[in-house]
Amino acid sequence: MSIIKEHDVVPFRNRVKEYAVKIGMSLLNQTKLITGASELVRNMLKYGGGGTVKIEVLSRTRDSGIRLTFEDKGPGIPDVKKAMLDGFTTGNSMGLGLPGTKRLMNEFDIQSEVGKGTTITIIKWKNG
């Protein structure tokens, strides 16, 4: 689904929650997933100029999970390593969004190219 304005955030989070509930994710993991998703979607709006998110249900032996792919065609991140550090911000904020989300997820992948955009993929397993 596409995220272009502040008002898209709540419907998006509700959609993620629906999926998480559907696969029976625990309340704690649901909250972690939604919070992480919220961070990335806000970054996408604030720095990436909006973009799209893909929601997928994954399954593996005796577990299932949710994969979210955030894609924007914004300015990209010049130094991804730096952006992943606690406290690094160019937006006069807390600089916790990226590193914090990584801690909340089971898998976290970030691809960013200056001038092209940023793609972040996260996975949260139901029992992970």
How wide is the angle at C-alpha 28 spanned by C-alphas 69 and 1, nearest 5°?
A: 25
Question: Which partner, Mg ion, another protein, ligand ATP, none, binds residue 44 by CB below 5 to 8 Å per kind?
Answer: ligand ATP
Specify burial of residue 96 (Cβ count, 10 A radius: 0-12, 13-18, 19+).
middle
- 30 binding partner (options ligand ATP, Mg ion, another protein, none; Cβ < 5 to 8 Å by kind): another protein
- The answer to whether residues 95 and 87 touch, using CB atoms and an 8 Å cutoff, is yes
Which listed residue (14, 59, 89, 127) binds ligand ATP by CB under 6 A? 89
95 binds ligand ATP, rule: CB under 6 A: yes
CA–CA distance, 71 with 68 (Å, rounded to integer)? 10
Interface mask toward another protein for 12-51; x: CB under 8 A: -x---x---------xx-xxx-xx--xx--x---------
Neighbouring-strand partners of residue 104: none
Whether 66 and 15 have beta carbons less than 8 Å apart is answered as no
Q: Rule CB under 6 A: choose which of 12, 20, 34, 43 binds ligand ATP.
A: 43
Enumerate binding residues for ligand ATP (CB under 6 A). 39, 43-44, 47-48, 72, 74-77, 83, 88-91, 93-99, 118
